[in-house]
Amino acid sequence: MSEIPECLPPIRETRRASLRVPAGSVDCHTHVFAPDYPLSPDRGYTPPDSTLDDLLRMHELLGIERVVFTQPSVYGTDNSAILDAMARIPDRARAVVAVDASISDDELAGLEAQGARGIRLNLDNVGGMPVELGDVPALADRVAELGWHVEFLFAGHELPELAPMLRSLAAPVTIGHFGYMPAAEGVNHPPFRVLLELVAEGNTWVKLSAPNRLGVGDLPPWPEVVPLAQALIEANPDRMLWATDWPHPNKYTAQPNDADLLEQLELWAPDEAIRRRILLHNPTTLYRF
């Protein structure tokens, strides 16, 4: 069995960002990793300890008041770490959980009561895809009845093949990290054009997050990402979300300061009214804060 790699920790000394954000702003994609929660032996990486208190300190420096916890692949379908974190700050937090197709309606209702608002299907990381793709439409039907969405993470080149299924789902769709599009390919890259079409159609939301995962370096600047962000915003500003991706798991060379990531938003959305939509209005709608 190959050794499971250990990720770099996030930058612990977050600086204050130059960009000021509106009250109630939401970081739409974060994780917590704490030693009390067992990791899956089938995971693809070992994350650094990164607790809720660590996250809240970082958010305080950035001015972020609300958060969405996204289930990481290393915990499989055991959502305990993010549910327990959410229980400590219930009015300020929501979660996107991982479930398998056998979950009961009562269990889904229980997760809704705790603050879950979607399910995550991670095709990119080992352990992150607990259901078969063929079971996704039926599961989407069930979560749509709760007002939930289905969040995907996949390699950008897979989107054209996945698009018909995404269009068929009854629930809204969110796509993480710019759809993992290779930023150097630009806005005319065929899979990116498909992403723009999905966003324009209105049932697909995109997280403007993790520019350090788009093949253009771990540290800023990321000028190649700016045209992608601006094209997505132009396609449908009401379907854009922003996130830090803290603590940036599955990274091994260098980590950005989270203030760097917030400041990218000023490049991507120079208009303050658009940034307010992305940071406040859109996530409030999707996650029902």
Task: Quote the distance between the C-alpha of residue 205 and its chain's center.
Answer: 11
Check: CB of residue 84 under 8 Å from CB of residue 46.
no
* Spatial separation of the C-alpha atoms in residues 279 and 277, rounded to whole Å: 6
Strands (E), 47-109: 66-70, 93-97
Q: In this structure, which amino acid lies at residue 201?
A: E
**Before 270, cis peptide (omega within 30)?**
no
CA atoms within 13 A on the CB side of 115: 23
* Spatial separation of the C-alpha atoms in residues 111 and 126, rounded to whole Å: 24
Catalytic residues: 245
Cβ burial, residue 274 (10 Å; 0-12/13-18/19+): middle
